[in-house]
Amino acid sequence: MLFAHDTECGLTVTAALVNTAGPDREGLPDVAALDDFFTAHSWTGRHEHTEAELRSVRDLRPRLRRIWHADPDEVVAIVNGLLRESNALPQLIRHDDQPYHLHAVPRDAPLAIRMAVEAAMALADLVRSGELSRLRICDHPDCDNVLVDLSKNRSRRFCDAGCGNRAAVSAYRARKAATRS
Ligand SMILES: [Zn+2]
Ligand SMILES: [Zn+2]
């Protein structure tokens, strides 16, 4: 593992959240979709199942996406802003079956706030390790999903949405077409 477990989880879930806002697709169209996201990413704690909660989670995404395009000083400004606005106070806690990890807001804080803080805490770790280059945009020409490269040799190029396969198929077809001509 490159980073602490909660850092890696925080980065992965943040990328997944950012990627629910596509240029021509809404991955969180309704409260049920947010419920699915909540469950799929093993969130626990307060969850209201309301339109207001959904709106605040959606509104967080552009700010988080910005981090993938920003220079280090701007990343720091965004991270510090998120921590300050959420009144983050890091505390080691243990819950469910998980070992001690950091929470910086109470478990009954609104979901969007906890998502913001989860992202900010994980990114703070990345900044401190000088590893911001692990935040990348998918290499597939038709995709602008964000990704976090947690591979040892920094070899990850594609997002989770099947772009690696799509690229392999196009490369195969191109090779075949080249042999034929
Ligand atoms: Zn926790
Ligand atoms: Zn992709």
Q: Which residues lie at CB < 5 A from ion ligand 2?
A: 138, 140, 143, 145, 159, 161, 163
Residue 93 has a pLDDT of 92
Quote the pLDDT of residue 86: 96
- Kindly report the length of the chain: 181
CA distance 37 to 20: 9
**Averaged pLDDT of the chain:** 94
Spacing, Cα 127 to ligand 1 middle (Å): 21
Give the DSSP letter of residue 134.
G
Between the CA of 28 and the centroid of ligand 1 the distance, in Å, is 23
Distance 100 CA to ligand 2 centre (A): 34
- Give, in degrees to the nearest 5, the angle at Cα 62 between 117 and 130: 55
Query: Going residue by residue through the chain (181 aa), what tens digit of pLDDT does each one get?
Result: 789 988 999 999 999 999 999 888 899 999 999 999 999 999 999 999 999 999 999 999 999 999 999 999 999 999 999 999 999 999 999 988 888 988 999 999 999 999 999 999 999 999 999 999 999 999 999 999 999 999 999 999 999 889 988 888 888 888 888 888 7
- From the CA of 117, the nearest ligand is 1
Per-residue pLDDT, 178: 87
Per-residue model confidence (pLDDT) at position 166: 87
Per-residue CA distances from 94 to 99, 102, 103, 176, 178 (Å): 6, 9, 9, 55, 58
Q: How much distance in Å is there from the Cα of 158 to the middle of ligand 2?
A: 5
Nearest ligand to the CA atom of 101: 1
Structure confidence by residue, pLDDT tens digits, 16-51: 999 999 888 899 999 999 999 999 999 999 999 999
pTM, two decimals, is 0.92
Q: How much distance in Å is there from the Cα of 101 to the middle of ligand 2? A: 31
Element (H, E) at 79: helix 72-85
Distance 181 CA to ligand 2 centre (A): 30
